[in-house]
Amino acid sequence: MTIKSNNKRKLIKAKANRWGIQFLLVTVFVGLFVTHAFTQKKIIKRMGTTNTTLFDDGWLFARYGLQPDGTRKPEPSNLEKITLNDRVAPWKELDLPHDWGITGPFRIELEGSTGKLPWKGIGWYRKHFKIDVKDANKQIFVDFDGAMANAKIWLNGHYVGTWPYGYNSFRMDLTPFIKVGEDNLIAVRLDTENWDSRWYPGAGIYRHVWLVKTDPVHVGHWGTNITTPQVSDASAKVNMAVTVDNQGLEAVKASIQSAVYELDGQNRKGRRVTDFNNTSLDIPIGGSATAGTSAQINRPKRWDITSPNRYVVETSIIVNRKVVDTYLTPFGVRTIEFTATKGFLLNGRRVEIQGTCNHHDLGALGAAFNESALHRQLVILKQMGCNALRTSHNPPAPELLEMADQMGFLVWDEAFDSWKHGKRKLDYNKLFDQWHQKDLTAMVHRDRNHPSVIIWSIGNEVLEQEDVQLTKHLADIIRGEDPTRPVSNGYNNPDGGRASGAAQALDVMGVNYFFNKQSDWDKDPRYKNMPTLGSETSSCVSSRGEYFFGTDYKNWQITSYDHAHPGWGCTPDEQFRINAKYPNLLGEFVWTGFDYLGEPTPYNTDATNLLNFRNDPSKKAALARKLQELNAKTPPSRSSYFGIVDLAGFPKDRFYLYQSHWRPDLPMAHILPHWNWPNRIDSIVPVDVYTSGDQAELFLNGKSLGKKTKRPGIDFRLSWDSVVYEPGELKVVSYKNGKKWATDVVKTTSPATQLKISTDRHHIKTVGNDLAFITVKITDKDGLMVPDASNLVQFSVEGPGEIVATDNGDATSFASFQSPSKKAFNGMVLAIVKFKKGSQGKFKVIAKSGGLSSAMEVISAK
Ligand code: GAL
């Protein structure tokens, strides 16, 4: 029995979302009006020195050591030498960002915890480039946003430097070895064989690289530090410290002039708002000096998650009446307070942290950073009501913070997953002694001007979390660099951290999964006034579109009734109940917003799961036995089940559970499961409804199955546990304060007959790896998605476009992400497309599947 339910369901959801749309329209209109003044202004691509250009194109790459098939290719010596002919195999030309692990193939015998992908190996990158003779007197730097891992850099055969931690950004000064007007060769060696991870780390120069040219006297790397010590509605005092380096041949007197401009949502510089006091510095040869200056902004426009207003400071360094450097520093004016009794206050207003933890990979694109992919993720999280991001468990791509600033997210910026003691053999423990100070400092210097960053985290579940000295040492390094934000640490043994006194070195207690003990903790006078935040919560697991009866786990998948979680976790509902009990807590970061590559708990057969029990040996033993059993079966799982949204970016049911709680003013209702159960006629199919209403009535084929009411603080879903299945239409009508609020409908479908296609964007840029995300649904004749369809869909492109990757969100799929064909998983499949390099115009994306009518989308140049 089939009814036109998909369309109707869409209409109902559209209606339910109408306030959201109206809000959007108003915002767009106001945005257009406000930004009118900016339209002629140039877009700022990158903070820092204005003479900064992307250095991503035309690299040559060769892979040695471990190969994708597990064999080994010896690494020759002299790969950094100019004399080497890199125009022949095995050298291949490519553009960055690049992740050499994501092309696979998946191999069953590889660790599930790192995605069963062959990311271990030795990668060499070489790039030839020219520096114009007119730049003969310039300093030439290359800024790496991140290179995985153990990066070593040479220029023209000379060793320049190293930065082993793959998640940090770093600068290399090429000046001593640059040849102007001639070919220069930069060579980079990366080594992931000497790196271990509990999740898929990626491999390669996986973030952007930039070429920076400055005069010998210039603002230092991340050389500005802006704070706003006094903020009121009438005015904001803005302090800035500017560090200037002198790499010239004589001591100089430099004067520093800085002006503040408005900065719009597209990074366009607007009205000049005020000036900083002029100041000057005497800088010795080869030295640097720091000047402090301040300014006042009248009636400052606050940065807030609801109105992410920003400013940009343009700093000019003047030597002998000549401007030698211009440097841009975006920032925001906002106040943050972490209180034990009133929660977290942003600009004086209580904001509950509704956050998600996320790893850095972008699903089918692997770790290779891509702006459009990250932006799509953040838009999805915003729609859910997520207002905060935890960069688990490492510093993010710098663009994440820029987008967080622009879109209004709060950020928990995290440094490490290990300190001196690794969780795996080759964790950060290998680097800790020599590098922790440099890595922490780099993180704070790079990220300190972002208004979105509200907390620094020195770690996640580190093995030394009870170590008083070490905790204090790391927290003090951070405070020495930035005293304006609190320092935290994610504890999986908060009792130990509190009992030992280590937690006293922190400003905010970060607690992973132990929220229900707050009342005990409050009894300890040492921590009475310490705010607590759920740095990691829930860890609910599910597979999109899978529903099981009588069990939560089957076929390496997990039911989407949102009940399943590992021993250390809880359901989202349970966490909401705990949060409601302790309203003075700051909120939570759910593990995780998106599924990620690796850590397919509960189907990983390695030590990853065991690590979560290290404080409870009895549980550890039981889990070790389970893992042994699993080991014998070799699970095919290669990505996580934790995501609220699957790896392809398709929301699971849980998305609507969070939306119902996090966006109480958005009228919405969502029914689960789907309604195609031909083998369960006359058997029970439990039905759950997620709604932002407080009551709901369920109807099966027009018959009421009763009205249910949420108990405030206790119920976060409404359940009809004894619905006897009959095909047809299941409909819910929800109510709020006695008034009709939202509806949702699911219907039994007929067999699949056609493909339905849609895209997140019809217009994309032809440059810079801009992407469109194309969703194909397998539907019946009425356009209803067939919820268990697994048809193979073949994507092709007509015109100057290409398919970058495909995915379906199935954690057990070993099909290549680069393949243009993919089976649908529970009715859905994704293709990621872009313009071919150097092309224009438009292209067609065609989706075909045997026996079904095909579908097509047109993507045009922006
Ligand atoms: C936590 C850990 C995370 C992830 C999670 C899975 O204990 O911090 O990195 O492993 O468990 O539930």
pLDDT tens for residues 253-262?
999 999 999 9
Q: Which atom of ligand 1 is nearest to the CA of 611?
A: 7
- Residue 771, burial from CB neighbour count under 10 angstroms (0-12, 13-18, 19+): buried
Distance of alpha carbon 590 from the chain centroid = 13
Task: Select from 747, 762, 787 the last residue of a domain.
Answer: 747
Q: Between the CA of residue 842 and those of 596, 776, 832, 846, 847, what are the distances in Å?
A: 32, 20, 15, 13, 17
Q: Clarify whether 857 is annotated catalytic.
A: no
d(CA 221, CA 243): 8
Average pLDDT over residues 311-329: 97
pLDDT at 529: 84
Task: Select from 214, 248, 271 the last residue of a domain.
Answer: 214
d(CA 742, CA 745): 11
Q: How confident is residue 723, by pLDDT bands cut at 50, 70 and 90? A: very high
646 occurs within a structural domain: no
Average pLDDT over residues 271-298: 97
Q: Ligand 1, from 488, 612, 620: best to mutate by most atoms within 8 Å of Cβ?
A: 612
555 and 606 inside one domain:
yes
Place of tokens 């031909």: 678
Cis peptide before 53 (omega within 30 of 0): no
pLDDT at 35: 39
d(CA 728, CA 1): 6
Which of these, 449, 374, 457, lies nearest to 413 by C-alpha position? 457
260 occurs within a structural domain: no
- The whole-model pTM stands at 0.94
d(CA 402, CA 383): 19
- Rounded to the nearest whole angstrom, what is the distance from the C-alpha of residue 393 to the centroid of ligand 1? 10
- Rounded to the nearest whole angstrom, what is the distance from the C-alpha of residue 566 to the centroid of ligand 1? 10
- Rounded to the nearest whole angstrom, what is the distance from the C-alpha of residue 559 to the centroid of ligand 1? 20
pLDDT at 618: 77
793 and 729 inside one domain:
no
770 occurs within a structural domain: yes
d(CA 584, CA 749): 47
d(CA 118, CA 134): 45
Q: Between the CA of residue 687 and those of 281, 353, 564, 721, 731, what are the distances in Å?
A: 70, 30, 16, 6, 11
pLDDT at 32: 37
pLDDT at 235: 98
Residue 767's CATH number: 2.60.40.10
606 and 662 inside one domain:
no
Cis peptide before 216 (omega within 30 of 0): no
Sign of CA dihedral 429, 431, 437, 443: negative
The DSSP output letter for 502 is: G
- Rounded to the nearest whole angstrom, what is the distance from the C-alpha of residue 789 to the centroid of ligand 1? 32
- For residue 12, is pLDDT > 80? no
Q: Which pair of tokens denotes residue 683?
A: 């058997």
Over pLDDT 70: what percentage of the chain?
95
529 occurs within a structural domain: yes
Lowest-confidence pick of 110-114, 611-615, 829-833: 611-615
Average pLDDT over residues 694-716: 98
Closest C-alpha residue for ligand 1 atom 1: 612
Closest C-alpha residue for ligand 1 atom 6: 539
295 occurs within a structural domain: no
Q: Which atom of ligand 1 is nearest to the CA of 461?
A: 8
3-state secondary structure of 135: helix
736 and 772 inside one domain:
no
666 and 624 inside one domain:
no
Q: Which of 461, 588, 599, 729 is catalytic?
A: 461
- For residue 4, is pLDDT > 90? no
Q: Which atom of ligand 1 is nearest to the CA of 608?
A: 10
Q: Clarify whether 546 is annotated catalytic.
A: no
Q: Which pair of tokens denotes residue 271?
A: 């009205």
Q: Are the C-beta atoms of 502 and 495 separated by less than 8 Å?
A: no
pLDDT at 478: 98
Which of these, 229, 247, 248, lies nearest to 238 by C-alpha position? 229
500 and 466 inside one domain:
yes
Summarize pLDDT for 236-254 with one digit per residue, the tens.
999 999 999 999 999 999 9
Q: How confident is residue 607, by pLDDT bands cut at 50, 70 and 90? A: confident
Q: Which residue has the higher pLDDT, 809 or 627?
A: 809
- Rounded to the nearest whole angstrom, what is the distance from the C-alpha of residue 612 to the centroid of ligand 1? 7
pLDDT at 617: 74
Place of tokens 């208004």: 451
264 occurs within a structural domain: no
| Rg (the chain; Cα; Å) | 27
Q: Which atom of ligand 1 is nearest to the CA of 392?
A: 9
193 occurs within a structural domain: yes
Lowest-confidence pick of 14-28, 504-518, 665-679: 14-28
595 and 481 inside one domain:
yes
Ligand 1 first shell, C-beta below 6 A? 460-461, 492, 512, 536, 539, 566, 569, 591, 599, 601, 612
Q: Enumerate the β-bridge partners of residue 580.
A: none
Sign of CA dihedral 165, 194, 389, 97: positive
3-state secondary structure of 233: coil
- For residue 276, is pLDDT > 60? yes
- What angle, rounded to 10 degrees, do the helices at 371-384 and 653-662 form? 60
Summarize pLDDT for 547-589 with one digit per residue, the tens.
999 999 999 999 999 999 998 999 999 999 999 988 778 999 9
The DSSP output letter for 77 is: S
Q: Are the C-beta atoms of 194 and 150 separated by less than 8 Å?
A: yes
- Rounded to the nearest whole angstrom, what is the distance from the C-alpha of residue 603 to the centroid of ligand 1? 14
Q: Which atom of ligand 1 is nearest to the CA of 490?
A: 8
DSSP E strand stretches across 665-788: 669-672, 687-691, 695-700, 703-709, 718-720, 729-736, 739-747, 754-759, 763-764, 772-779
d(CA 135, CA 406): 34
pLDDT at 49: 87
d(CA 298, CA 312): 15
Q: Ligand 1, from 457, 461, 462: best to mutate by most atoms within 8 Å of Cβ?
A: 461
- Residue 169, burial from CB neighbour count under 10 angstroms (0-12, 13-18, 19+): buried
- Rounded to the nearest whole angstrom, what is the distance from the C-alpha of residue 338 to the centroid of ligand 1? 25
- Rounded to the nearest whole angstrom, what is the distance from the C-alpha of residue 682 to the centroid of ligand 1? 41
- For residue 33, is pLDDT > 60? no
Give CA angle at 142 (247, 396), nearest 5°: 120
Backbone angles phi, psi at 479, to 5 degrees: -60, -35
Q: Are the C-beta atoms of 392 and 414 separated by less than 8 Å?
A: yes
Summarize pLDDT for 510-550 with one digit per residue, the tens.
999 977 788 888 889 998 889 999 999 999 999 999 999 99
Lowest-confidence pick of 268-272, 416-420, 521-525, 657-661: 521-525
Average pLDDT over residues 385-396: 98
- Rounded to the nearest whole angstrom, what is the distance from the C-alpha of residue 325 to the centroid of ligand 1? 45
Which residues, 6+ apart, have CB-to-CB distance to 403 below 8 Å?
371, 374, 375, 378, 409
Task: Select from 214, 247, 267 the last residue of a domain.
Answer: 214
Q: Which of 536, 588, 599, 729 is catalytic?
A: 536
Q: What's the domain count of the chain?
A: 4
555 and 622 inside one domain:
yes
pLDDT at 41: 61
Q: Cβ–Cβ contacts within 10 Å for residue 106, how many?
A: 18
pLDDT at 22: 42
Give CA angle at 387 (381, 390), nearest 5°: 85
Q: Which atom of ligand 1 is nearest to the CA of 492?
A: 7
- Residue 432, burial from CB neighbour count under 10 angstroms (0-12, 13-18, 19+): buried
Q: Are the C-beta atoms of 776 and 755 separated by less than 8 Å?
A: yes
Average pLDDT over residues 460-482: 97
Which of these, 102, 304, 97, 64, lies nearest to 208 by C-alpha position? 97
- By residue range, what is the domain housing residue 690? 653-673+677-747
Residue 180's CATH number: 2.60.120.260
Place of tokens 């807030």: 304
703 and 764 inside one domain:
no
523 and 383 inside one domain:
yes
Q: Which atom of ligand 1 is nearest to the CA of 566?
A: 12
d(CA 564, CA 392): 22
Q: Which atom of ligand 1 is nearest to the CA of 460?
A: 8
- What angle, rounded to 10 degrees, do the helices at 432-447 and 398-407 form? 30
717 and 831 inside one domain:
no
562 occurs within a structural domain: yes
- Rounded to the nearest whole angstrom, what is the distance from the C-alpha of residue 161 to the centroid of ligand 1? 34
- For residue 3, is pLDDT > 70? no
443 and 544 inside one domain:
yes
